[in-house]
Structure 1
Amino acid sequence: MTRKSWTSPLVLLLLLTALLTGVTACSTATSPSAQNPGPGVTTAKGETSPQPKLAKSLNLFIWSEYIPTSVLEAFEKEYGVKVNISTYSSNEEMFAKLAVHSSGYDLAVASDYMIDLMRKQDLMEKLDYENISNIKNIGPEFLKRAADPDGAFSVPYMWGNVVIAINKDKVSTPVSHYRDLLKPEFKDSLVVLDDSRSMIGIANQMQGKSLNETDPAVLEKSKEFLRQLLPNIKAFDSDSPKTLLVTGEVAAGIVYGAEASLARQENPSILTVIPAEGMELWQDNFVIPKGSPNKLTAETFINFVLRPDISAEISSHYPYANPNLAAHELIDKEILQDPAVYPPKSELEKGEYMVDIGNAVKLYDRIWSEIKLE
């Protein structure tokens, strides 16, 4: 008698179920979404499901020498996303490009006063803070500022100041005010910021006026102060003014506090002077340009940068003042105690932040263009 070969419907169903389960598991293990998921979303049942996968690349628009390659490489290693960097030399340049083609960038860095203008021009996407949980690491004094009262569009990145840096081996005359740099001893020996708002604002301060002055009469006088300063200016440089200080090609400069600090690390002869007129203060922030094609990826990058270890890594390369208080425990004490980077509270109270000055910016632009052409 020959054995009859057969399988019951129940067995067939069990075999088919097992086969499908195995195929699904293999697919999940090798799919791009599993390899490169976005931040998880917690459901009502307490389960975590992945958001849509992150983009393969992220286009970041930022100042030069402002974020170390090591951080970009760490993000790519952890998330599989390559960060492409484009740089600008002023907030105005950044604004002009975003106003024309904001969707060409996924993420940008902008100073407070420019965020105010971008908000009014509807050039930014609202942030989803479910993807930026590390915002908790930022000090409350840096959040929800006048430029973005609800904190809907911006996340603090770094903050800082503008100071006078001098080479003590090359400067014999006392320097405590911006006005002191008008002296003939400084002929062709200064590096200053290539920034209309900063330099005209400083000329305003020379008169005892506001950094944000809009009175045409005051601004015309500021123009005359800058004309007097011109013979002493060897270079306009906002990107890396420390270079000329380190090499000794200039005797002094009007530079960012962090640049003065970096210059001193390489050349101990560099000293920092906090101007008696009061410092310009600033805060730079991450924003997502309107129409960004990779908003989730941009928010994931912001959250990554706000990790204490990553934020401290940035400060070790570029020691601007860091609003990430959780990162302070990991930052070199020498940086935290450097008055060029973290000025005394009494000096901070005398400082002033830029604000949006409306149509007066056209007068600033005209004055700056005329000065640069002389």
Structure 2
Amino acid sequence: MSNRRIYSRRTVLRMLGAVSVISPLALSCRSSEPEGATPRSSPAARPSPTVVPSSGFQLPEYVDRTRLEGELFVFNWGDYIDPDVLSDFERLTGVKVTVDTYDTNEQAIAKLQQGGIAYDIVVPTDYAVQILIGLGLLEPLDRSVVRAIEHLDPNNLNGPYDPGNRYSVPYFWGTSGYAYDTAVLGPDLASWEALFEPAEAARGKIVMHGYYRETIAAALLWLGYPLNETSDEALQRALEVLKAQKPFVLTYTSENNDELLIAGEAVIAHCWTGQAILAKRERPTIRYVIPKEGCAVWQDNLCVVKGAPHRYAAMVFIDYLCWPEIAARNASYVGYASPNRTAREQGLLDPDLVNDPAIYLDDTTWKRLQWFKDLGPDYVKYDRIWTELRAG
């Protein structure tokens, strides 16, 4: 299931509207979304691996081998780490790594709350890190061991969900812009205008996200509001924009946006970075855009679970995943943007992706990105808008 990292991990992530910081109370009253996506198997979906030698690695001097426990339990999204990277860690340290998987952040949070299974590492998305910190379920990082964090891009550090990165280390990240076929719509699209004041050639061929925080956020940004806006006036205007757009919309989905572009059924699709990468690989005329008005950014993170039975090995493992050579190999397998700046600067990452300014961003573009935040009781407003839009 070569796309599981995109469809099972990133798509199911948002199956319960999980694109923002949500409280346990909000989780219990949110409207339900369809269960899981079915991954498709495609040999073209997996990128060609970056060739980085695995031999010759040694543990750095700051790692005390005598403190390493004999095993490590990782709780991760499915197909979200290179198996060879795991094998090399085991050979390097003598620590046996066992990986269990989950489908949503909510599932992971609930399992950690229940206890019973003593996991060492979990890989939550930005908003879920904040929830886990609030629940007291994460261990502070030991910076005397997790030193390779210095290789990460400052733009990926110090997120609002964990200021100072006391509990989390960025793992992979991406954005929610749009991809379109330049052969149909031309080479110069740069604004949400392409979706909300579309060309006639796009009639019936626009794909919008199937998760309402993403779609409503796009309309809010087009109107000049922050993507976490909750005022009645702004949300009503966003609804009007989305209703006016609806005759041009083929479907609202977050599962097969890239496939629709590849097949030519859609000419423009609101999507995540990884979906755009896959679409462009199959159809070279596809281009990914971060609109000039801005878009959402997401980030997954490596965290140590509170009370981890193999705490020292967990810290060493997180440090290991930040080594530039290891980060590059892992990024080649997973297919999303790596936060490892050193790996980029040393030319270890896929040059086609690194040189795409909509995938690996400059500082100016980073300033246009916004993180989703907890809406608290205002979630009900978004539910109402989405219901009215889909029913109309």
TM-score category (smaller protein): 0.7 to 0.9
Deviation at 1:87, TM superposition (A): 4.1
- Partner residue in 2 for 1:268: 284
Is 1:116 aligned to residue 130 of structure 2? yes
Q: Could you list the runs of 5+ residues in structure 2 that have no partner in the other structure?
A: 1-58
Shift of 1:317: 3.4
Return structure 1 stretches of 4+ with deviation > 6 angstroms.
38-42
> Which residue of the partner structure matches residue 157 of structure 2?
143
1:354 aligns with 2:365: no
Aligned residue number for residue 251 of structure 2: 234
Structure 2 vs 1, CA of residues 159 and 181 (structure 1 numbering), >3 Å: closer, same or farther?
A: same
SS of the residue aligned with 1:275?
A: coil
Asked whether the 8 Å contact 1:61–1:108 carries over to 2, the reply is yes
Q: Which of the residues 170, 182, 189 maps onto 1:168?
A: 182
Per-residue deviation at 1:122? Answer: 2.7
Q: Which residue of 2 aligns with 1:340?
A: 358
**Higher relative contact order, chain-length normalized (CA < 8 Å, sep 6+):** 2
Normalised to the residue count of structure 1, the TM-score between the two structures is 0.73
What value does the CA root-mean-square deviation take over the aligned residues? Answer: 3.4
C-alpha change, 1:350 and 1:170, in structure 2 (3 Å) is: same
Contact 2:124 2:300 in 1 (8 A): yes
**In 2 relative to 1, CA 373–67 (structure 1 residues): closer, same or farther, beyond 3 Å?**
farther
CA distance in 2, matches of 1:370, 1:292: 46
Q: Matched residue of 1:129: which SS?
A: coil
- Give the corresponding residue for 1:10: none
- Quote how far apart the aligned CAs of 1:342 are: 1.8
Q: Which residue of 2 aligns with 1:16?
A: none
Distance 1:170 1:66, change over 3 A: farther
Does the alignment pair 1:94 with 2:105? yes
1:60 alignment partner in structure 2: 75
Paired residue secondary structure (1:160) = strand
**Aligned equivalent of 1:81, options 96, 99, 102:** 96
Matches within 5 A, 1:5-84: 50-51=66-67, 53-55=69-71, 58-62=73-77, 66-78=80-92, 79-84=94-99
Q: SS at 1:359's partner residue? A: helix
* Letter paired with 2:230: T
Distance 2:189 2:155 in 1: 32
> Given the alignment of the two structures, is residue 157 of structure 1 paired with residue 171 of structure 2, yes or no?
yes
Comparing 96-105 with 205-214, greater Cα deviation is found at 96-105
Q: Work out whether residues 98 and 289 of structure 1, in 8 Å CA contact, stay in contact via their aligned partners in 2.
A: no
In the alignment, what sits opposite 2:296? 280
- Write the distance in 2 (CA, Å) between the matches of 1:254 and 1:334: 22
**Alpha carbons of structure 1 residues 282 and 41: separation in structure 2 relative to 1, 3 Å:** closer
1:4-47 Cα deviation digits (max 9, x unpaired): xxxxxxxxxxxxxxxxxxxxxxxxxxxxxxxxxx99988xxxxx
| Matching residue's letter, 2:350 | D
Distance 2:354 2:273 in 1: 12
Q: Give 1:251 shift.
A: 1.8
* Separation of aligned partners in 2, 1:276 and 1:137: 29
Superposition map of 1:159-238 within 5 A: 159-171=173-185, 175-182=189-196, 183=198, 185-231=201-247, 232-237=249-254
CA distance in 2, matches of 1:368, 1:72: 42
Unaligned runs of 5+ in 1: 1-37, 43-47
Q: 1:361/1:114 Cα in 2 relative to 1: closer, same or farther (>3 Å)?
A: farther
The answer as to whether partners of 2:153 and 2:339 remain within 8 angstroms in 1 is yes
Query: Would the alpha carbon gap of residues 39 and 124 (structure 1) be closer, same or farther in structure 2, given more than 3 Å must change?
Result: farther
Give the TM-score normalised by the residue count of structure 2.
0.70
Asked if the contact 2:69–2:310 (Cα under 8 Å) also holds between the matched residues in 1, the reply is: no
Count of matched residue pairs: 325
